[in-house]
Structure 1
Amino acid sequence: MNDLLNFQPRRLSRDETFYVAGHRGLVGSAIWRRLNAEGFKNLIGRSSSELDLKDREAVFAFFAATKPRYVVLAAAKVGGILANNTYPVDFLSDNIRIQVNVLDAARTYGTERLLFLGSSCIYPKLSEQPIREESLLTGHLEPTNDAYAIAKIAGILQIQAVRRQYGLPWISAMPTNLYGPGDNFSLEGSHVLPALIRRYDDAAKFGAARVTNWGTGSPRREFLHVDDMAAACLHLMENYDGPTQVNVGTGSDVTIKELATLVAEAVGYQGAIEWDTSKPDGTPRKLLDVTRLSASGWTAAIELKDGLRSTVDWYRSNLAEIRR
């Protein structure tokens, strides 16, 4: 086993086997693109139809056959407020099984360096802003996605437990709200930004006079382009080692009303924007403190307006294939 006291983060070998769990998802596909661009020669991935990560026996057989030296665990069951609030059992059970199976198999078959990806919803609903990593487990969670949050918290604690018990230099990263190519634009499963892109693009296409959004529009959210997230993941694997999860974000946020206006501009919608205040807002604000990440030498590069324009272009170019 590796000795944490002697381990030093270093450049990953481009020749070793690197498994990206969830390589067809929003985050996983971006990480795959980044690793390809960085010259990694032995990337492996399996679709959910090829490998069900909830199937423990199948996961162990996969790791026994491939023995990846590096792993990014980006696979997860994800969704927006509606999906999380409607199917909490699914979000809790599926995610815990995925995490436990992959992490146990990786430990059993000698994975040296592993990055577990969580979500900013792990932090208490009323965390002091911006949210520091130390805020974890200091207060009540947002009720609309507490089941998903608990699953992700369990993943962080398993990473910490592996470090303590087995001395492996595994780490966790907690991204803020992500967007970009490969996002989920479905009516029931999408997060706020892809949902707004779909809604406003349809409104612009069909000449709708008004668009109605959930809530008051007052909550503030931080958005990170998924290509920036992918760059941050490789940076952390090569430059960070510690038990504390690392926040990954931009360090700035906008209101949902401001976001709606930006999306409307990006798609060319010129009608009225209205708000259904009978619907829930969710957490009032989620801005991550990215001091730890910045201190390691990484900052986000893609501005929100630029990222929105490129995401809208991708969405329109891939309407036949994307999740709707």
Structure 2
Amino acid sequence: MDFSLTEDQRALRAGMRELMERRFPRARLRAVVDAEGVGGAAAGDGAGAGAGGVDRGLWRELGAAGFFALRLPEAAGGVGLGLPEAVLAFEEAGRSLLPGPLAATHLAAGLAATGAPVGGAAEGEAVVTAFDAAGAGRGGAVLVEHLASADAVLVLGDGDAGIRTAKEIGSSAEAIRSLDPATPLHRVCGGVAPAAAWERSSGEQGVGAGRGTAARLRREAALLTAAQQLGSALRTVETAVAHARERIQFGRAIGAFQAVQHLCASMLVRAETARSVVYAAAVTEDPGDIAAAVLLADEAAVRNARDCLQVHGGMGFTWEADVHLHLKRAWVRAEQWQTAAAAEEELAAGLMSTGARCL
């Protein structure tokens, strides 16, 4: 069986990379991180965004490129592709450390086929973040990213999913300091009913997308987040190798030293291992495969960023270097959608189920 990318898939990945390099280069990333914005533009004005805000111009360009509507049927105005293609696109977004609730907006755009109101999510006209109501059982609070920039919130309950307004969620939210300077977070303590309680409601209380939807959306969001982690892991490999070739120490490029070579080789092995599992999970969509992809992609993103920092030496610890941005974003993503503990439980449950069937 041939698992190589098709010509169309390679073109999609190349197009996404070109878009990211043109519209979100390193200078733009540093502007967001350093709280300088773009020309003082405020989030939502159509030109750019200040620190922590979503660049609405770039968001609409992503929509025009079909990023959010990749898996929407052509009859509904989408591109009509599948989860593997979405994974390739999200990998490139992760490679560039593109901020914003990408997975939530992508999933909300897909709900258009169910009749749920998404208010322009597919076109990039709306920013949609996510609130996982099931997470309220863990300490009574849920962290929501980019809430201040969002137009709507995708709420996931125990079995149902639906769309609510950001204003409703924001009324019970408290801004907290985020480890990642490009991912603003709000802590929401109660005040949001599980989706099952308002699934059949209408008007200001939102409209649901049907029972059983939440579990599927969680799995897809976990895989798309793993794809972003994969992109970050691959980017840190490139960054470490490039620095090892350029940095001269004791009269030689540090890449000539065996210790540095071993670090870079280990980074590549982690990234390529994660890539194979993430791609396989996109094809099978199996919960166990997705859990494995989450575990390996999280490990690759975090450990590769740490090793990249070591390759850079003292300068890797400075604010001016980009290495810390990959590490901080990897830490934040690792706590979103499916944590390592939840992924391990998913894998354990699958192994127990397989063992029981074999007895």
Question: Shorter-chain-normalised TM-score: which range?
Answer: 0.3 to 0.5
The structure carrying a bigger helix percent of its residues is: 2
Compare CA radii of gyration and give the structure with the larger one: 2
Question: Whose relative contact order is higher, 1 or 2, with alpha carbons under 8 Å and at least 6 apart?
Answer: 1
**TM (normalized to structure 1)?**
0.37
**TM (normalized to structure 2)?**
0.34
The structure carrying a bigger strand percent of its residues is: 1
